[in-house]
């Protein structure tokens, strides 16, 4: 059993036993869903289906139904893509990077954060696919022997790197998540009373029995997957940023993009985790496992990554002037004072100023405030991508081609629709899956649980 300093705040509040942990996590799955769940699920489903309808219309008609024009060939679609991929970075960061750093507080949040990651990457992957306009030829991005003049895909192109990065990230995240889920599905299976659910969970748990040798392998597989996923997280958003950074468009051609995008991704991902968990812990009464300390830790991550993002914005501004390249300088002047000034300043306020409020202990431990800021950050991060993409494109080298982008209702419908679909998936997850990593929580119960920390026995060993 691992011990930690007794003065550290316990990670699990209350006097929980192993059985209590099982009960608390499994009860919401075994009970009837509350009415609120059905209401939320209904709303999310309607919005999601509207989005699917918009996508159908888009595929049937062509990408012309978006508000794009000859000057602005990328706008909402790619903004949404980068936004979702960014959100999809928190889960693997929490479970992989924090596992390598032996941060035990991750155990309360990693399962749902990973689920969020996977669903966010689903949504992200949708956008480049529909941006092709012809979804059914999506497989042309793979290096398959073909009859088109034996032409291969271009391995020099960051867009192809993206195909590999996103698909690797998605599939590895799913595997990582599922391997952790297997023992927890076994717990639900062994408790299940109804025939159908017993059968379902028995299939999902792959016949897990909890043998010592299996746990030994389980721990090593988790560790190695974490080791693999850590550079993967950093590489994925770096590669997304290469889509822009390797081009020659002023405002995109920036060498600090990879670290800046990765920090921004973690920043927005943690904000989304906060939004979801603050509701989930309340709705599923998991306050003992995800409490103020966890929220505070996540707020510190938001503060740090927010500061990195802020530094990157200011560096960009400085370099655009210091480089002496007039196009570069104009691109940034135009961002801040041109027709899209409101988007730029929305981004600056949401992403640079709001995380700095987390320096105040009172604010970062306030749940209401955290919820508010988490929404603000996600709005800000959407604007960041919008500013980078649209303001860099809308005034290019030929002033005669200058233009503005106005989203069509399909642009908006597809975006809102993915938010609906995301919540459909997340609500299903919260209903049928163990939302806390049961087997991991149990390993830290004695080291970090409140009742054990307060017992005289605990202090005896120090």
Q: Shortest distance, CB of residue 316 to other proteins, whole angstroms?
A: 23
State which H helix or E strand residue 186 sits in.
helix 158-191
| 161 or 344: CB nearest other proteins | 161
C-alpha angle 311-317-318 in degrees, rounded to nearest 5: 85
CB distance 65 to 91 below 8 Å: no
Contacts of residue 292, defined as CB under 8 A and 6 or more positions apart, other chains included, come to 365, 367
How many CB atoms within 10 Å of residue 327?
Answer: 15
Q: With CB under 8 A as the contact rule, which of the stretches 231-239, 353-361, 392-400, 403-411 interacts with other proteins?
A: 231-239
Contacts of residue 432, defined as CB under 8 A and 6 or more positions apart, other chains included, come to 29
Determine the 3-state secondary structure of 329 from DSSP: helix
**Helical H segments across 284-366, by residue range:** 292-322, 326-337, 341-348, 361-364
Which of residues 59, 160, 329, 375 is near other proteins by CB under 8 A? 160
Determine the 3-state secondary structure of 401 from DSSP: helix
CB distance 262 to 308 below 8 Å: no
User: How remote is the C-alpha of 275 from its chain's centroid?
Assistant: 12
Q: Shortest distance, CB of residue 175 to other proteins, whole angstroms?
A: 5
| Cα end-to-end span (Å), the chain | 13
How many CB atoms within 10 Å of residue 295?
Answer: 23
| 186 or 421: CB nearest other proteins | 186
CB distance 452 to 458 below 8 Å: yes
Which of residues 218, 267, 270, 425 is near other proteins by CB under 8 A? 218
Rounded to 5 degrees, φ, ψ at 323 are: -65, -25
Q: Which residues pair with 12 in a beta bridge?
A: 449
> Residue 18, interface with other proteins (CB under 8 A)?
yes
> Residue 2, interface with other proteins (CB under 8 A)?
yes
Which of residues 171, 247, 323, 356 is near other proteins by CB under 8 A? 171
| 235 or 311: CB nearest other proteins | 235
> Residue 247, interface with other proteins (CB under 8 A)?
no
Which of residues 92, 112, 187, 351 is near other proteins by CB under 8 A? 187
Determine the 3-state secondary structure of 449 from DSSP: strand
| 45 or 228: CB nearest other proteins | 228
| 218 or 426: CB nearest other proteins | 218
> Residue 405, interface with other proteins (CB under 8 A)?
no
> Residue 168, interface with other proteins (CB under 8 A)?
yes
CB distance 436 to 190 below 8 Å: no
> Residue 85, interface with other proteins (CB under 8 A)?
no
Which of residues 104, 189, 294, 405 is near other proteins by CB under 8 A? 189
Which of residues 228, 333, 416, 419 is near other proteins by CB under 8 A? 228
Site residues (CB under 8 A) for other proteins, limited to 425-444: 438-440, 442-443
| Alpha carbon distance 301, 182 (integer Å) | 29
Q: Shortest distance, CB of residue 108 to other proteins, whole angstroms?
A: 15
Closest residue by Cα to residue 187 from 393, 7, 56, 27 = 27
Q: How many residues bind other proteins (CB under 8 A)?
A: 67
Determine the 3-state secondary structure of 342 from DSSP: helix
Q: At what angle do helices 326-337 and 341-348 cross, to 10 degrees?
A: 80
Q: Shortest distance, CB of residue 126 to other proteins, whole angstroms?
A: 20
> Residue 233, interface with other proteins (CB under 8 A)?
no
Determine the 3-state secondary structure of 72 from DSSP: coil
> Residue 118, interface with other proteins (CB under 8 A)?
no
Which of residues 13, 59, 63, 179 is near other proteins by CB under 8 A? 179
Q: Which residues pair with 302 in a beta bridge?
A: none
Which of residues 210, 314, 322, 406 is near other proteins by CB under 8 A? 210
| 47 or 166: CB nearest other proteins | 166
How many CB atoms within 10 Å of residue 46?
Answer: 12
In order of 106, 192, 215, 250, 417, the CA distances from 316 in angstroms are 33, 56, 48, 11, 33
Q: Shortest distance, CB of residue 105 to other proteins, whole angstroms?
A: 17
CB distance 191 to 26 below 8 Å: yes
Which of residues 156, 195, 397, 461 is near other proteins by CB under 8 A? 156
Which of residues 81, 83, 161, 340 is near other proteins by CB under 8 A? 161
Q: Shortest distance, CB of residue 329 to other proteins, whole angstroms?
A: 26
Which of residues 115, 130, 165, 290 is near other proteins by CB under 8 A? 165
Q: With CB under 8 A as the contact rule, which of the stretches 41-49, 112-120, 177-185, 369-377 interacts with other proteins?
A: 177-185
| 232 or 427: CB nearest other proteins | 232
> Residue 182, interface with other proteins (CB under 8 A)?
yes
| 2 or 356: CB nearest other proteins | 2
Residue ranges that bind other proteins, judged by CB under 8 A? 1-2, 17-19, 22, 143, 150-156, 158, 160-161, 164-165, 168, 171-172, 175-176, 179, 182-183, 186-187, 189-191, 202-221, 224-225, 228-229, 231-232, 235, 239, 242, 438-440, 442-443, 446
């Amino acid at each position: 059993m691992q011990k930690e300093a007794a003065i550290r705040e316990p990670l699990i509040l209350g006097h929980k036993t192993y059985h209590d942990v099982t009960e608390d996590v499994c009860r919401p799955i075994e009970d009837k869903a509350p009415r609120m769940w059905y209401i939320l699920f209904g709303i999310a489903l309607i919005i999601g289906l509207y989005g699917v309808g918009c996508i159908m219309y888009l595929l049937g008609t062509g990408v012309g139904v978006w508000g794009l024009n000859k000057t602005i060939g990328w706008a909402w679609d790619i903004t949404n893509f980068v936004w979702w991929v960014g959100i999809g970075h928190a889960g693997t960061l929490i479970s992989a990077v924090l596992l390598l750093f032996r941060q035990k507080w991750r155990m309360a949040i990693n399962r749902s954060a990973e689920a969020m990651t996977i669903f966010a990457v689903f949504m992200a992957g949708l956008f480049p696919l529909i941006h092709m306009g012809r979804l059914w030829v999506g497989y042309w991005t793979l290096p398959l022997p073909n009859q088109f003049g034996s032409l291969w895909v271009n391995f020099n192109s960051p867009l192809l790197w993206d195909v590999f990065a996103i698909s690797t990230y998605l599939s590895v995240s799913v595997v990582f998540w599922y391997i952790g889920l297997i023992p927890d599905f076994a717990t639900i299976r062994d408790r299940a009373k109804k025939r159908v659910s017993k059968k379902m969970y028995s299939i999902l748990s792959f016949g897990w029995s909890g043998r010592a040798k299996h746990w030994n392998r389980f721990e090593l597989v988790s560790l190695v997957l974490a080791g693999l996923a850590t550079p993967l997280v950093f590489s994925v958003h770096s590669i997304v940023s290469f889509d822009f950074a390797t081009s020659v468009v002023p405002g995109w051609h920036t060498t600090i993009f990879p670290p800046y995008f990765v920090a921004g991704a973690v920043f927005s991902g943690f904000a989304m985790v906060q939004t979801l968990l603050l509701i989930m812990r309340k709705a599923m009464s998991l306050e003992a496992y995800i409490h103020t300390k966890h929220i505070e830790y996540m707020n510190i991550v938001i503060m740090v990554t927010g500061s990195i993002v802020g530094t990157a914005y200011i560096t960009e501004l400085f370099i655009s002037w210091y480089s002496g390249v007039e196009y570069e300088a104009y691109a940034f002047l135009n961002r801040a004072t041109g027709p899209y000034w409101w988007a730029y300043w929305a981004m600056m306020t949401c992403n640079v100023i709001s995380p700095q409020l987390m320096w105040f202990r009172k604010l970062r431990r306030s749940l209401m405030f955290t919820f508010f800021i988490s929404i603000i950050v996600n709005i800000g991060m959407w604007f960041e991508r919008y500013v980078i993409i649209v303001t860099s494109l809308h005034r290019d080298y030929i002033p005669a081609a200058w233009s503005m982008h106005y989203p069509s209702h399909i642009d908006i419908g597809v975006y809102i629709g993915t938010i609906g679909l995301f919540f459909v998936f997340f609500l299903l997850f919260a209903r049928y899956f163990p939302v806390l990593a049961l087997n991991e929580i149990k390993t830290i119960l004695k080291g970090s649980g409140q009742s054990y920390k307060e017992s005289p026995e605990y202090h005896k060993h120090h």
